[in-house]
A and B are shown apart, each in its own frame.
Chain A
Amino acid sequence: AQSVTQLDSHVSVSEGTPVLLRCNYSSSYSPSLFWYVQHPNKGLQLLLKYTSAATLVKGINGFEAEFKKSETSFHLTKPSAHMSDAAEYFCVVSATSGTYKYIFGTGTRLKVLA
């Protein structure tokens, strides 16, 4: 069975400060993990993915995430927040066993203060 928990429903940061969005997962198989971003009234856009290669994954727009198996975590970070980063972020887990079942977290709304 798979599950994903996003530990914060809302995060507020000031522009230019670091961003940390936390995600813990549970999976019976070696997981694939993803972060998606959703801007208001838009579809979900892939930020980055982990599929058992390098544990530090770099994505678009300066975001990166680190897969930590011992902590079952896949936290999303960015060194310096920009106003355009304000959006909803979803952590997603999928088993690599071929079932192609994707489980979404409940989302973290990121607010960036000027």
Chain B
Amino acid sequence: EAGVVQSPRYKIIEKKQPVAFWCNPISGHNTLYWYLQNLGQGPELLIRYENEEAVDDSQLPKDRFSAERLKGVDSTLKIQPAELGDSAVYLCASSSNRGSGANVLTFGAGSRLTVL
């Protein structure tokens, strides 16, 4: 079984430029999460999807961040324009509400963003 796939793994951009991250969750996982992880800290939730519906986006800075999961499978997180403080690792995770692994988060390797 393929795990959660994220791309790109690394991205370096100038401030004020746009950037997008892509995530393909585990097949059959209906819930998808985007987390932000700053250096030396634990992940913090940005947005959670149940299928194609964003059910928790309270921590997403909506002035510059946007996300979509149009067909309830893969998802894209966008930042426009990027700021220096956005330098961090963006983690995608997915989970299922069925089976022995229900409600256990499986993470991708992350996308490390550096804003210059």
Partner of B103 from the list A41, A100, A105 (CB cut-off 8 Å) is A100
Q: How far is the CB of A37 from chain B (nearest CB, A)?
A: 11
Give the distance in Å from the alpha carbon of A96 to the alpha carbon of B82 in the complex: 36
Partner of A43 from the list B31, B40, B110 (CB cut-off 8 Å) is B110
A101 within 8 A of B: yes
Enumerate the 9 nearest inter-chain pairs by beta-carbon distance, A residue then B residue, closest first. Answer: A104-B42, A43-B107, A44-B107, A43-B109, A104-B43, A106-B42, A43-B108, A107-B42, A90-B42
User: How many residue pairs at the A-B interface have CB separations less than 8 Å?
Assistant: 50
Q: How far is the CB of A86 from chain B (nearest CB, A)?
A: 16
B20 within 8 A of A: no
Partner of A105 from the list B4, B42, B45, B56 (CB cut-off 8 Å) is B42
- Which residues of A approach B to under 8 Å, CB–CB? 32, 34, 36, 41-46, 49, 51, 90, 92, 94, 100-102, 104-107
Chain A residues with Cβ under 8 A from B67's Cβ? none
| Contact B45 A101, beta carbon cutoff 8 Å | yes
Give the distance in Å from the alpha carbon of A90 to the alpha carbon of B43 in the complex: 9
| Contact A106 B45, beta carbon cutoff 8 Å | no
| Contact B104 A34, beta carbon cutoff 8 Å | yes
Chain B residues with Cβ under 8 A from A34's Cβ? 104-105
| Contact A100 B42, beta carbon cutoff 8 Å | no
